[in-house]
Structure 1
Amino acid sequence: MPFPNDEVLMKTAGDLVAQLQAIFGKHPGFRPAHAKGEILTGTFTPSAEAKKLTTAPHFNNPSTPVWVRFSSSTGLPNIPDTDSHADPRGIAIRFILGDRKHTDIISHSTPFFPARTGQGFLEFLQALASSPPDGPKPSPVEQFLGANPKALAFVQAPKPAPASYGTEEYFGVTAFKLINAEGKATFIRYHIVPEAGVSTLSADELKDKDPDYLRKELTERLASGPISFKIKAQVAAEGDVTDDATVHWPEDRPVVELGTLKLDSVLPDNAKEQKNIIFDPIPRVQGVEPSDDPLLEMRAAVYLISGKQRRAA
């Protein structure tokens, strides 16, 4: 994973990591966001349709081993699964293509994101950090949300707690280009859908749950068989915005099934592996290219800075 060389990008990425740590505290060895998580292992099997859209190896090989990290929001490693701030939940999928060869998909459980750029997200976090509950009104974050309707939409979007990581759906908010053998580019956004169906908890159901219920439920679910997801792609139409994660494509856009993810076990040495692995929002593999969405390079820089800190801890 190459280190970006844009000075402004790297400064903003460093400021984002520092601001997240200012809000949630420094927890050496853990991510500044989505700190609490669990890695599972399994296999991805592509569909026939995927091979028509891209030459990427994981969409053409008969199957590909995967690591999948499920996670809860915030930089608090021990946040209760029942805490409303733990939503949206995250999923990071690593397709293992060979020795030190891989590509990743990173998504979370709401199709919204609060800002188009890293600088915009930083301003959102800064406003949040300077808005104590007992401070003067309107608070800085209330003023920010009033001036930024896309951020307000993210805050107000429903974020019900999942009954299981295996019954949550996950959305890729940034666009990518799939390139096929003829060189045709198709803009898509990923959608990860549980084969068991989406199942969430009401507030009454949630209050009786264990603070670590999602991790424990994974173990129980795996005991009765693999956890399966369909990886789908919403396909953009001509003229759809592909460089802004805050803009939704219309619901009537075609959806293509790219393949099936089957997870069958919890990865051994989970804590060690979570500390070491650095997921990459940029695909860096033939057949899949990044869009011009500025969040991609910013998130890659944030993840790399965070990963270097974790490994050094």
Structure 2
Amino acid sequence: MLTRLLPDRFVLLLILCVALASILPVTGRAADALHDLAMVAIAAVFFLHGGRLSRSTVIAGLTNWRLHIAVLATTFMVFPLLGLAITALLPDSLMSPALRMGVLFLCVLPSTVQSSIAFTAIAGGNVPAAVCSASASNILGMFVTPLLVAVLFGAGGQGVSVDQVEAILLQLLVPFIAGQILEPWIGPWLRRHRKPLGLVDRGSILLVVYLAFAGAVVSGFWQRIGAVDLAVMLAVDCLLLALVLAITMFMSARLGFSREDRITIVFCGSKKTLASGVPMANVIFAGRDTGAILMPLMLFHQIQLMVCAVLARRYARITEAEAVAEAAAGGDARAAGHNAA
């Protein structure tokens, strides 16, 4: 239990990046050079995502369209509506505009891929459908997330411009499509070397987080953000996750999904991606307080990992108990039949 509740190594590295940016923020030409490097690294990440994604796996999961609609509706409709409601109810004295933007940005992001599939597998859910739903969420997110940001922030003059949408498509979608085109040739090799290539994913995120917080620190981030702000963000993230988990559990049961599909909807619908969220924020909010905007997402990332780890183990225990009970009942029935004979 303790190991599941403690931050994983990647979260500890994120914390280290924030601390390093707070103590030694990079500025000037060095910051520009690191920014260019981050742009190349992010493009490489999405190229690798496209190359690793097996088309046969995606096609295998496409038939369960009701499940995919449920997951996508939760990701891109339920989450934003909850985010709007929570931020509207919070007084301005409890949350700064940048943090408020961060919560809304978190709510319009796509689902995770790796952790959604992993938790679904642990809990005994529909893994092929989880692969398809999580992958579709990330692909659609390249279009839907900028559009939702434009809708949610447009009223306050903080939406994204056409140039920013084009930048997102060029930096994220074009490399992804290139990877998909080359998948028949490079896919098997990329999947065999997923673990070492994962260093590119995590390294790019760490670099962008460091740059975002370095810029925020230079502009006085820690003078504007205090312990109360962090406590409020933590409470908002916990409330948001609790509401989404409750909604996905209740609605998937009411709609008549099987147990395996309900598990998939819960774990794919409740996640938000840090891997895609960080580069998207870097493009969408260029020139703004990116460090503060990313803070709710970083906290939510760790909360979702801890809560879903415990929840997945609980589902697994229930599934094991039911299997044992069914096996025992089958054994009793066979014994009764034998005695009757």
Q: Please, what TM-score do these two structures have when normalized by structure 1?
A: 0.30
Structure with the bigger percentage of helix: 2
User: In terms of Rg, which structure is larger?
Assistant: 2
